[in-house]
Every structure is written in structure tokens, then in C-alpha cells.
Structure 1
Amino acid sequence: MKQKIREWLRRYLPAEVLSVAATLLAAALALRATGNGLSAALAGTWAGNVAYFGWLLGQDVWQTRRTLQASGRPYRWRTLGQNVRALAVEFGVAEVFDSLLIRPALLYYMPRWLGSFGTGIVVAKLLADVTFYIPAIISYELSKKRLRRFE
């Protein structure tokens, strides 16, 4: 189990760090620009998603390219499609609920409930991550056998 936890941390932790920074920055900029908490919640949600999934896709592409190059095969557009499909399977169910309901609601209400914008955004993100990672990790483990074999 320790090995699995290390694998998940190597995969998800750098993406999380980038996502937290993007979430805080976008939410703060949107709040400053609009004065609207809902705009801040949505901007934070989507900026965090772009940073998170951009990092993961970049890592998957880099790793797949290395694997293919080691065996003398090229990375093609079709391979990129396989990388994108693997991410969609890994995160599809979790992401739908997370981005459209759970995360925006928490990002909207937590700053109000806690009385601090920054603290509320971070706490909301951490709470939303709990409901996000359970199905995502299960899907990741299942997808490794079928969708992440490029040897």
C-alpha cells in the first residue's frame, strides 16, 4: 500500500500544487475585477482545472514519448489521443460532479462561512479534493491495465 500511495503522490501532488496556485490567483483576480463571489468561484474552479489537467497531460505525454522512443517508435497524434482518452477515463466521472457542482459550491460558500477569502478557498479546495480523488484513483488503477500500455 505504501508503494501505491507514493505512486499517487508522485502523480497528483505536483498537479495539486499548481492547481492551488491557479485557483487562488484566478479567484482573487475575478473577485477583484467583478466583486462577485460566484464569478470568483467559477474562475477558481476552471483555472485550477486547466493547471491540474494541463500538468497531468504534459506528464503523460512526456512519459509515453520516453517509453516509445526507447523502443524506437514515434509519438503520433493517435498516441496523444490515447493519452487524452486515458485521462478522460481516469477523471471523467469525478470531474463532472467536481467541476459542475461540488467545487464551485464549496468555493462560493466556504469563504463566507469562514469569514476569510483565502482560507475559505483553500479549505474548499481541500474538501472538494476528497470527493474527487476517491473515484479518480479507482479509475486510474483500472485504466492502467488497458489504456496506459504504450510499450
Structure 2
Amino acid sequence: MKWNVREWLQRYGPAEILSVLATLGAAGVAYRLSGSYVSTALAGTWAGNVAYFGYILALDIWHTRRQLRAAGQLYTGRTLLRNLRALVVEFGLAEVFDSFLVRPALMYYLPRAVGSLAGGILLAKLLADVTFYVPAIISYELSKKRLRRFEK
């Protein structure tokens, strides 16, 4: 597999920025409202996911529409399903493990361990991203030839 670090940064970088902001914002609000580390961990995890995957899906739709338009073809509901399938292949395994185990556990324990809500949430996010990106990038690279070609 070729190291496409620039491509990965362009694809994942803006999504990560949005995810960090959503994670910290939702975790802060959840903690202020509930005082519960469980609520804080879940709110931070899921808000970050919505921001991250919303951006990635919008980016994929935009690229696919542009690719199809250049070939004189339309973006259809079927094309959207192909975009979604490609995302499931890219992120599915990594996301299940990340969202239901690694990230919430780290976001629960690390703020207590470091003595700072924001610092612990940020550290948890960064550590969880390592276990997330290794399988996600491998899947992305493997899926590019089969699942990301949309013109006929």
C-alpha cells in the first residue's frame, strides 16, 4: 500500500477539526447539564461522530457529483447508496469498535485521570483516533479501486 499522507490529510483533516469542536462542545454541555461522566463520554463520542461522518459523506457526494457531471451522468439515489456502501466499507469495522468501546471508555476515564474535563476529552479523542485510523485508512485504500469509481 502506497503512503498517501497528503490525500489522507485532505480527506480526514477538516472532518477531524469539526469533530474535535463538536466533541468538546457536546461533552462540555453534557457535563454542565448532568455532571455525569457517562453522559459526557456518550455526548462527546456521538457529537464528534455526527460532525465527522456528516462532513465525510458530504465530501464524497460532492466529489462523486463532480465526477459524474464531467462524464455527463446524473447523481441518483442509487449513487447515494454506493457512496454510503463505500463509507461502510471504509469505516464500518473501525467505527463499531471505536464508538461502542474505545472512545466512550477513554472519554469516561481520562478526564478523571488527568483532572481536567477538556484535557481528558481531548486526550481521549486523540488516543482513540489512533485505533480508529489504522483500519480505516487500510480499508479506504483497498476500497478506492472497486467502490469509488462511479462513472460507467
Same-fold call, TM > 0.5? yes
Distance (whole Å) between structure 2 residues aligned to residue 125 and residue 3 of structure 1: 24
User: Equivalent residue for 1:67?
Assistant: 67
Superposed displacement of residue 150, structure 1: 1.0
User: Equivalent residue for 2:11?
Assistant: 11
User: Equivalent residue for 1:116?
Assistant: 116
Q: Which residues in structure 2 correspond to 1:1-150 (within 5 Å)?
A: 4-150=4-150
User: Could you say what secondary structure the match of 1:73 adopts?
Assistant: coil
Superposed displacement of residue 3, structure 1: 6.3
Distance (whole Å) between structure 2 residues aligned to residue 115 and residue 125 of structure 1: 16
User: Could you say what secondary structure the match of 1:74 adopts?
Assistant: coil
Instruction: Provide the alpha-carbon RMSD of the alignment.
Output: 1.2
1:64-89 per-position Cα deviation (integer Å, ceiling 9, x unaligned) = 00000011100000000000010000
Distance (whole Å) between structure 2 residues aligned to residue 143 and residue 3 of structure 1: 15
User: Could you say what secondary structure the match of 1:149 adopts?
Assistant: coil
Distance (whole Å) between structure 2 residues aligned to residue 37 and residue 69 of structure 1: 48
In the superposition, the TM-score normalised over structure 2's length comes to 0.97
Superposed displacement of residue 2, structure 1: 8.8
In the superposition, the TM-score normalised over structure 1's length comes to 0.98
1:85-124 per-position Cα deviation (integer Å, ceiling 9, x unaligned) = 1000000000010000000000011100000111111000
Distance (whole Å) between structure 2 residues aligned to residue 126 and residue 13 of structure 1: 13
- Does the C-alpha gap of structure 1 residues 39 and 135 become closer, same or farther in structure 2, counting only changes over 3 Å? same
Q: How many pairs are equivalent?
A: 151
* Gaps in structure 1 of 5+ consecutive residues: none
Which runs of at least 4 in structure 1 moved beyond 6 Å after TM superposition? Answer: none
Distance (whole Å) between structure 1 residues aligned to residue 111 and residue 34 of structure 2: 16
* Gaps in structure 2 of 5+ consecutive residues: none
1:43-62 per-position Cα deviation (integer Å, ceiling 9, x unaligned) = 00000000000000000000
Overall identity of the aligned pairs, in %? 69
- Does the C-alpha gap of structure 1 residues 3 and 98 become closer, same or farther in structure 2, counting only changes over 3 Å? closer
